[in-house]
Chain A
Amino acid sequence: MLIRILREYLRPYRGLIVLLVLLQLVGTIASLYLPSLNGRIIDQGVALGDTGYIMRTGGWMLAISFVQIVATIAATYLGAKAAAGLGRDLRASIFARVGDFSAQEVSRFGAPTLISRNTNDVTQVQTVTFMGAAMMVSAPIMMVGGIIMALREDVGLSWLVAVAVPLLALSVALVIRKMIPQFRLMQESVDWVNRVLREQITGIRVVRAFVREEREEARFAEANTQYTGTALAVGRLMAMVFPIVMLIFNASTVAVLWFGAHRVESGQMQIGELTAFMSYLMQILMSVMMATFMSMMIPRATVSAGRIGEVLDTESTVVEPTAPVALPSTEDAVTLDHVEFTYPGADVPVLQDVSLEALPGRTTAIIGSTGAGKSTLLSLIPRLYDVTGGAVRIGGVDVREAALEDVWDRIGLVPQKPYLFTGTVASNLRYGDANATDEDLWEALRIAQAEDFVRAMPDGLDSPIAQGGTNVSGGQRQRLAIARALVANPEIYLFDDSFSALDLSTDARLRAALRPVTRNATVIVVAQRVSTIVDADQIIVLDDGKVVGTGTHDQLLETCPTYVEIVESQRSAEEAA
């Protein structure tokens, strides 16, 4: 997957990369040429006492050093550009892909993991790309070049390269191989320790109420001990790397001197060449080491690339029709026609044979116990999910045949979890209609019973809202979400248990205020409280995914035992009598 992503997303930067490789080649050759010049200084300058030669060659070395730095910096520039570009393009692709997802795909992945795939995982791939451009390109060039140069200096001594390089690569790789599973374990241990702490802080009241401090301490000690154990193991392995590398480097130098001395003695090599050879060997070893360390990043990046690939390869189950049918401009009745819905992977349908008709100007309420499928039913109307059987129609047109924009245009949704966006009260309210005036906003707030507290805020409509709306209370958030839907002035209102966090009198006033503005709209309300829906024109009682009763409050009291049961549970004995 990593390779596929790299191939696909580096394609626009092909030119840059070719240039980068060339520059790395120039830089590497330049840095390899330096020891050879130094060797000549010794053999032809020092040994012969030719100061002029020493100065001239020294000048050359400086010039070549300069070429090297220019080439390397240019290569770094290109590498950074290509990597950052890859990151940007990849992020954009994922973001666009997820934007096309339906609620089904989003809930299958889960928002948190999608977020981290779009951010952290891309960063992983981007970093490995940059490091790769900087080091993994130059390492092989350095190795090949170094070997060639070493061979040029003395073929007879080059077997040392063949011994030292694999020895270094092998021993470093061996340690790393032992380390990788430890790293994974370490991440797990960190997660464990942090999870326990997180639970203790979020659940502090429970811990204290049940007097479980000691138990929590023991639980933490267990996690902490494992973490420390793993960290120790990792740390000790890490402590081995540096001494091993140093030893191999140093031992190689010693070996070059010893075997080189014999070559020099027999006249097959000059002493300057010996010095140059030593430098080459060091350079080769250094690049091998770098490449090995870099390769440590590859497994992590591969995992990230896999996670990214999963997102990119997922197709949305809700697709735009190729030839959309226009929704009738005046007819906004919502009908469900023998609807069935099964969550992917589930055996049992959540909704079975559900039929209902919600008419404009009427309020249709849906009530039922937890897990009866109320929210699922609601989410079928704006095509957050597609039905697995039957059809949902707006104005007689199957929503799957209409353009998505067209469907969404009609609908004002107040979700169960009233999510608000970072910004201000006003920016949130204008979510549905960017051109709404301040008066429109205040009107919506007034209906939603949110006017008082917004007025009480220091900056009124411009008061800041934190991400998710966490800086206002649950009840306030719910009312703002209702106001947001009102500002959009849709033809169809969907309230998903939107009054649950309100106290009873606020609930009552809100519904009273809603009535005139929704006079011509189709209103569908999901609720828990009977009091919220008692005055609805039509109440649908859901039980276990099936409609067990349809009618007004009074009718249902006569005909639907499930409804009676629900009402009973909320009424006091003498009230029901």
Chain B
Amino acid sequence: MDSLGYELKELPVQLERVRVLEYFEGDRLVQLKSPQGEIYLKSWLDEHEQWTRWLLFRCTSAALGRFIAGVWTLRDLLEKHDDGVAYIVDSNGREEHVSLIMAKDFPDSYMPTAESYYDADLAPEGGEQVERILLDGFWSVEFLSTLDRKYRQVYAALAAFLSDTVTQARLATHLSKYRFKGGWIHVKVFDLLVGALPKEVKPKVIAFHYASPGVLEYRVEPSLASRVSGAVHNLLEDDGTIKEAYRELHKQLGEFSDWAATGTHDEAELEREQRRMLRQPSEDLAEALKLEQPSVIWQLTNGNYYNAGHILASYYRRIETLVDLHSQGDARISSVLQAKPLIDEPHIPLSVEAD
């Protein structure tokens, strides 16, 4: 391999490996960080016998977010990065030769093409532990607060809807006693769901690029974050089935409330009627939303379809908010941009018999 750029004794910065972004018969793209937390990318360029050549360059969190989200190409990252210089690192596993290269001198033969979008399928197994939300337009602190709250609520609801014992045990204590009466019913329910999340899987804000466009980064549990993006993607692709199921459930919840408010009804009558009016629309919405284990909602609400219906309807509205923000371009979830639809899981009906 020909020498390139200006030879250096060593890299001027100590870098720590963060994760492999692309792997195919060896690392192809690796994320590193400096002691100051700056992000560097190491991209495979070439190899000859025992030597491997890498391009090392600094990039911002926002730029990396755009690349991971499929908005920018690797070529964009190289052309738009501010440093104007990068490092060429030739390594044989024991020795390293480092040189500094001006961006303008970067050989065409190494230049990624205009189609060099990130291929998330090449990320090693284990999943992305960072979820990025790309912000754009004129957003405010209030907007951020709403976005953060809705994201956490949908994330927590999806965790609660799985038969995870830790979350279930916590929720069973609180939610089963909840009366679904008074003000702010749904806010309180979702507070319970968020509160029941084990600390180690809660989304944690790890970076915020305060600009427009900006980026909000969460450390997440990959399986839950992928369910959130799957839920948003599912509603984005809705042919009207989900919206119709929601409208029907919402209507039936209202009619049941009106009926329950008229006259005096004993417990048995209320139980019979809520089952008659709300079971089918609740099941329909759960199915349309492709919930993996809707029977869990039934367990959490002790078989009360009125309460289960309220949770489902509220859950739908929170996803709808994320979808609106995403489709307007105000807050785009990066993993949704990578278009990962929900996998159709075997449907377990929301019913007593299924438990």
Q: Do A and B bind each other?
A: no
Which residues of B are interface residues toward A (Cβ below 8 A)?
none
